[in-house]
Amino acid sequence: MTVRPVSVIGIGETQFGELWDRSFRELGIEAGLRAISDAKIVAEQVDALYVGNMSAGKFIDQEHVSTLVADYAGLADQHLPTVRVEGGGACGAIAIQQAAMSIVSGVHDIVVVGGAEKMTDVGDLEAMQILSSTTDQEWESVFGATFAGLYAMMARRHMFEHGTTREQLAAVAVKNHKHGALNPNAQFQKEITMDMVLQAPKVAEPLGLFDCAPLSDGAAALVLCAKEKARKFTDTPIDLIGTGQASDFIAVHDRRDLTTIDATVIAGKRAFHAAKRTPADVRLAEVHDNFTISEIMAIEDLRFFPKGKGGYATEDGETALNAKVTINPSGGLKARGQPVGATGVAQAVEIVRQLRTEAGKRQVSGAEIGLTHTLGGTGGTAVVHIFARGD
Amino acid sequence: MAIPRFWREIPSRYNLLGSKCGNCGALDFPPRSVCPRCGRRSVGKMQKFRLTGKGKVVTYTVIHDAPKDFDMMKPYVLGIVELDEGVRLTSQIIDVEPGEVKIGMPVEVAFRKLGEEGDAGVIHYGYKFRPVT
């Protein structure tokens, strides 16, 4: 990001949840228009639209969603270039990076990035099968592997190698629900107890129902702008100071270490290098907690805590609001909700809100930089973005 | 899964046919046309290699929330197995009570029904692993 720095000048988000009365296009437009209005720009100033969406083709039989959203946002006559980005759960985060690169390159000045998913128009079983389609269909799913099952096998190995406990996994869910209770847009604004997590129906042992992020509808959007023009639109631009993306073997069984997401390690290194910062500089992060074990691996792989200590740190409260490093102040995927395509963008919306000190009851005090971490599939893709308050 | 899609992978799903890199000698399962270690130096040098089907459990889970096609089997044990040749794969672990599976447990390949194409379609067969008796 050294060529031409990029700032966030607008953010927008819908309610997340089981929104039976809202369609995919309504959600996408609401988030996008909120971001445009927050940026105090008019639609004619937008140069392009990038949309992160995992699987509208399967969830609502609708492909070509970037043009659909632009059209229903009233932009058809503007003939914007629109791009839909797919990359499993990381699609929204990749869309941010691609949109930023279009500004870095000088092609565009102002770009809207949206992320959206409508998951509840199909039944729960079908939705879970669609989520599983980001795994290796030929060599994992066909043998009975589920999305939760693959993460459960990483959890089991993490417990075996590092002594992580069932209670430490549960502590992630308890903490994220506590944060979600402070977020008016979260799907679950309700605290839960350790007992509720431990007693919940089993999904894939050792993971139970409360170890898994829910199925959700929702959308989020950002307006990105070339930094040199950002001050024209806002007094509080938030800069994207580093991004990193990395891939790995798609199947869990092929990976070097079952307790480490190498894609996260590498994406993190790339982002920290670009941002000229270190993990020790970060006190605020939104990480991909699609399962409780995912958050534990993420905070280790991003080097906030040593390998094997993520569960202990969580149990000791070091990742709670305003503790050593605040992880998932929004409630994370677990409590805010998991409309897959929206995830990476919603994480960025939360970090921008925090850095602008507009996060209300869940405000992290004194944070100068914030990080987002997003996974695709079971960790075959990882994306890390680092944001800082504009100077 | 559509019939041709399953059918074209039968050699590996029935007989654990993997590949051996003609450049570095490393094994892969399922077979690859490019060695992840050697890259272009391996192109055109990948040979078929049949694995013995003996190994041990590296990690496992008990699946309670199963996809439609596996509903009748739940709860079932799913594991990652490391074969004696060093290659890993994902498979169901059968002929064992879920509570008795352990990391490190020796297992061997078995030929089993994996699923079927709807109520009246073709049956898919392939590997599962069971404890060595």
Residue B116 confidence (pLDDT): 85
Average pLDDT over residues A335-358: 98
Tens of pLDDT, residue by residue over A166-180, are 999 999 999 999 999
Map residue A274 onto helix, strand or coil: helix
Residue A389 confidence (pLDDT): 95
Output the DSSP codes for A51-110: EE-S-HHHHSS---HHHHHHIIIIIGGGT--EEEE-BTBTHHHHHHHHHHHHHHTTS-SE
Nearest to A152 among B9, B61, B67 (CB): B61
Nearest to B80 among A129, A204, A253 (CB): A253
Interchain CB contact of B19 with A (< 8 Å): no
Do the chains contact at A140 and B115, CB–CB below 8 Å? no
Q: What percent of chain A has pLDDT over 90?
A: 98
Answer yes or no: are the C-beta atoms of B127 and B109 closer than 8 Å. yes
Do the chains contact at B63 and A129, CB–CB below 8 Å? no
Return the structure tokens found at B83: 């074969």
Residue A33 confidence (pLDDT): 96
Number of neighbouring beta carbons within 10 Å of residue A383:
32
Interface test with A, best of B65, B71, B73, B109 (most A CBs within 10 A): B65
Residue A390 confidence (pLDDT): 84
pLDDT above 60 (res A189): yes
Interchain CB contact of A256 with B (< 8 Å): no
Interchain CB contact of A153 with B (< 8 Å): yes
List CB contacts (< 8 A) between B64 and chain A.
Answer: 201-205
- Report how far residue B60's alpha carbon sits from residue B42's, in angstroms, rounded to the nearest whole number: 33
Do the chains contact at B67 and A160, CB–CB below 8 Å? no
Output the DSSP codes for B3-38: HHHHHTTHHHHHH-EEEEETTT--EESS--SSBTTT
Average pLDDT over residues A36-54: 97
Q: How far is A135 from chain B, CA to nearest CA, in Å? A: 12
- Report how far residue A112's alpha carbon sits from residue A10's, in angstroms, rounded to the nearest whole number: 9
Per-residue confidence at A3, pLDDT binned at 50, 70, 90?
Answer: low
Q: Which residues of chain B have pLDDT under 70?
A: none
List CB contacts (< 8 A) between B59 and chain A.
Answer: 153-154, 156-157, 160, 258
Do the chains contact at B6 and A253, CB–CB below 8 Å? no
Tens of pLDDT, residue by residue over A203-261, are 999 999 999 999 999 999 999 999 999 999 999 999 999 999 999 999 999 999 999 99
ipTM of this complex: 0.97
Residue A1 confidence (pLDDT): 46
Nearest Cα to Cα of residue A302 among A367, A242, A350:
A242
Nearest to B90 among A143, A157, A206 (CB): A143
Tens of pLDDT, residue by residue over B43-65, are 999 999 999 999 999 999 999 99
Q: What are phi and psi of A328, to 5 degrees?
A: 60, 60
Per-residue confidence at A323, pLDDT binned at 50, 70, 90?
Answer: very high
